[in-house]
Amino acid sequence: MAEYQMLDDVDADAFLCCVCLDLLYKPIVLPCGHISCFWCVHKCMNGFRESHCPICRRSYYHFPTICEILHQLILKIYPASYKRRESQILEVEKKIGFFSPQFDSLACGSQAGMKVEHLEDSANGELNTNTKNDDAVAELILEENSDVVSSTSVVSLNSLQDPCAQKTQNQEKISVADVLCQACTQLLFRPVVMNCGHVFCESCINSQVETLECQVCQSLQPRGFRNVCLELDQFLKEKFPEEYSIRRDSVQLKLANSMKHDNPTSCSNEEGKKGEYLPRWGDVASKVHTFIGCDYCGMFPLIGDRYKCKDCLEASGFDLCGDCYNTRSKRPGRFNQQHRPEHRFQLVHPSMFQNMTEG
């Protein structure tokens, strides 16, 4: 791995996935703030119960949406490596028949600071296969990932005469407009990435409300406190030191003024201590659909009522939890199924095997 990094345009400590140890590709930010690749996160999730971050072991229950601001940022800084990762992963996805979300702007400039627009027919859902197929998909991608490293390093050596100079030049293309909070439209300060993939300043999120809703896509967020994405935060500090300092002073002043009017006896950390919704795993009535996920909110495994699309023919299928089915969300899913609004759903009950494993 060390030899490869010297040949490519990626720093040893820059936006590397903690699972595959390669450049982050289609990055997903977990509630704890740690980042991994789309397929690496999926590989690490537990189809029976709550999943845990591979770094800090904090539990979570939803497969988050790709953070497009990070996706575009890494693409701009490391175009050669990111295109290598794109080609590498796409080749494997074609073999296995499962696809991660695609973006129109992958080969174009950054679209950060604007509302995220996805392919009209895209619906990225949770992988609705059994454990054998589920593991095989992610394992094959990770294996192919390590195999391609050696074969592409020579190409990178020829195409990048001075990787350090190239990286510096690419970073100069990054502007504050690429990393704006999607609420206050200013430079992100202590960025928090929501389950839907949108990014806000920590101070722009109202964590005191019982039901948190994204200000961009209006999707409901899983209950529980989301940590600052420290890796992105550190990048902002180093890339925009003056702007970041101004933002810090502004936010601190705003918080100081608001504290003068708040009740000092109120408990501001109560909601953060609750964590995400913890299901009653041993209760058959909780209806845990093992190795099935919601293709909108990413709940995995799906808990409660499961609505399966009768018209989606992809191997991954297309399923919604009760909340997403009732709200008829327009959000994209997780795996690019060609789901359409006129498709029909059927209510599916957990299998007897699922009830036995939950008991």
| pLDDT computed for residue 189 by the predictor | 97
Q: Check pLDDT > 60 for residue 242.
A: yes
Angle, helices 163-171/68-77, rounded to nearest 10 degrees: 130
Q: Give the mean pLDDT of the chain.
A: 76
Q: Check pLDDT > 70 for residue 38.
A: yes
Cis peptide before 301 (omega within 30 of 0): yes
In a domain, 269, yes or no: no
pTM over 0.85: no
Nearest to 348 by CA among 328, 318, 327: 318
The reply to whether 344 and 206 lie within a common domain is no
In a domain, 270, yes or no: no
- Mean pLDDT to the nearest integer, 239-261: 88
The reply to whether 158 and 294 lie within a common domain is no
| pLDDT computed for residue 137 by the predictor | 54
The reply to whether 171 and 73 lie within a common domain is yes
Listed residues 209, 230, 251: the one ending a domain: 230
Report the percent of the chain where pLDDT is more than 90: 46
The reply to whether 214 and 293 lie within a common domain is no
| pLDDT computed for residue 102 by the predictor | 83
Q: How many domains does the chain have?
A: 2
CA distance 213 to 176: 25
63-77, 244-258, 262-276, range with the lowest pLDDT: 262-276
Q: Check pLDDT > 90 for residue 109.
A: no
Check if the beta carbon of residue 36 is closer than 8 Å to that of residue 66.
no
The reply to whether 198 and 299 lie within a common domain is no
More confident residue, 35 or 225: 35
Please provide the size of the chain in residues: 359
Q: Check pLDDT > 80 for residue 358.
A: no
Nearest to 56 by CA among 190, 229, 222: 229
CB atoms within 10 A of CB 310: 11
CA distance 311 to 214: 30
In a domain, 88, yes or no: yes
More confident residue, 223 or 153: 223
| pLDDT computed for residue 157 by the predictor | 37
In a domain, 243, yes or no: no
Phi and psi of 84, rounded to 5°? -60, -45
The reply to whether 191 and 94 lie within a common domain is yes
Q: Give the tens place of pLDDT for each residue, 112-128.
A: 333 333 333 333 333 44
The reply to whether 46 and 125 lie within a common domain is yes
In a domain, 205, yes or no: yes
- Mean pLDDT to the nearest integer, 333-357: 76
The reply to whether 216 and 310 lie within a common domain is no
The reply to whether 188 and 288 lie within a common domain is no
29-38, 103-112, 225-234, 289-298, range with the lowest pLDDT: 103-112
Listed residues 230, 246, 273: the one ending a domain: 230
The reply to whether 82 and 210 lie within a common domain is yes
In a domain, 7, yes or no: yes
The reply to whether 222 and 301 lie within a common domain is no
Q: Give the tens place of pLDDT for each residue, 185-231.
A: 999 999 999 999 999 999 999 766 777 889 998 888 888 788 999 99
The reply to whether 167 and 90 lie within a common domain is yes
Q: Check pLDDT > 90 for residue 140.
A: no
For 314, the domain range is 284-358
Listed residues 204, 230, 256: the one ending a domain: 230
Both tokens of residue 301? 């495994």
In a domain, 96, yes or no: yes
Angle, helices 68-77/79-96, rounded to nearest 10 degrees: 120
In a domain, 217, yes or no: yes
